[in-house]
Amino acid sequence: MKGILGQKLEMSQVFDENGKLIPVTIVLVEPNKVLEVKTTDKHGYKSLKLGTNDKRENLVNKPELGQFKKVNSQPKRFVKEIRDMEGFAIGQDIKVADLFQAGDIIDVTGVSKGKGFAGAIKRHNYSRGPMAHGSGYHRGIGSMGAIINRIFKSKKMAGHMGHEKVTVQNLEIVKIISDKNIVLIKGSVPGPKKGFLIIKENHKCKNKKAASVLIERKKASSTKNEQPHQQAEEKASQE
């Protein structure tokens, strides 16, 4: 298993060599610091604890600050473990280009957008009652079940919607821009802008797709400047 931590920026679109539009999510994947290496002999399982996105020391309590100072690292805002990942030492920086390439199939985990308090119809996709004036039931929750003076656990009722851990599987890496630490992922990923993500290799489909050949966009200013220059050259050649 291999994985890395990133931060969602925004969505955009790119075009391949056939002119097909590909919707992509732009993810910032800065070099991850290896904060701890867990082994089967000592901890009972293998994993790497990774951290990304620096933050100030006054925002960290003393126990956490001591853990960061052990590995001579700046405090990190987002710290997660990647199970069954190995091959890196404590204090080492992991870049996205070291693990993934364009065409790889990945799973992306994040916290979905919070929607606030919602009713049962919106939250659980219930059907509403008739909306005519004679009906006494419109958007109610419906039957509560047996009359035993309590509600069973897991009953689908109104409540907080969203803000849950969500994993989207079988996403494709369209392009990796190493110098800017940017990854373009085909489709949408969970969470709001600037939300943190866990990017892992797909454990169901190990096959790799052929990387799409993208068309590079030209800046509008450069094309405008080139047109008068080209016209002048054409006139000179005709004369």
* Domains defined for the chain, CATH in brackets: 3-114+162-238 (2.40.30.10), 115-161 (no CATH)
- The answer to whether the beta carbons of residues 184 and 24 sit under 8 Å apart is yes
Which tops the pLDDT comparison, 41 or 215?
Answer: 41
Nearest to 195 by CA among 147, 226, 162: 162
The Cβ-side half-sphere exposure at 31, using a 13 Å CA radius, reads 12
Among residues 216, 207, 214, 187, the alpha carbon closest in space to that of 103 is found at 207
- Separation between Cα atoms, residue 233 and residue 222, nearest integer Å: 17
Task: Please give the Cα distance from 7 to 195 (Å, whole number).
Answer: 6
The per-residue pLDDT for 217 is 67
Is 208 exposed, middle or buried (CB count within 10 Å of its CB: 0-12, 13-18, 19+)? middle
Longest CA–CA span in the chain (Å) reads 98
The string of DSSP codes covering 87-155 is S--TT-EE-GGGT--TT-EEEEEEEPPEEEEE-HHHHH-PPP---STT-S-SS------S-SSS--TT-
List, in sequence order, every residue forming a beta bridge with 41; answer none if it has no partner: none
Nearest residue to 130 (alpha-carbon basis) of 122, 121, 138 = 138
CA 140, CA 100: separation in Å to the nearest integer? 49
What is the tens place of the pLDDT at every residue in 55-100?
999 999 999 999 899 899 999 999 999 999 988 999 999 999 999 9
Q: What is the pTM assigned to this prediction?
A: 0.81
With tokens 């054409």, the residue in question is 234
Residue 136 confidence (pLDDT):
87
**Phi, psi dihedral angles at 22 (to 5 degrees):** -120, 110
pLDDT of residue 205: 67
Tell me: pLDDT of 221 over 70. Answer: no
How many Cα atoms sit within 13 Å of 213 on the Cβ side? 3
Model confidence at 216, in pLDDT bands (50, 70, 90)?
confident
| Residues contacting 139, CB < 8 A, separation 6+ | 119, 121, 128, 129
* Inter-CA distances, 183 with 32, 62, 114, 157, Å: 14, 34, 25, 39
Which range has the worst mean pLDDT, 20-29, 54-63, 200-209, 211-220?
A: 211-220
**With 70 as the cut, is the pLDDT of residue 153 above it?**
yes
pLDDT in tens, 13-56: 999 888 899 999 999 999 999 999 999 999 999 999 999 999 99
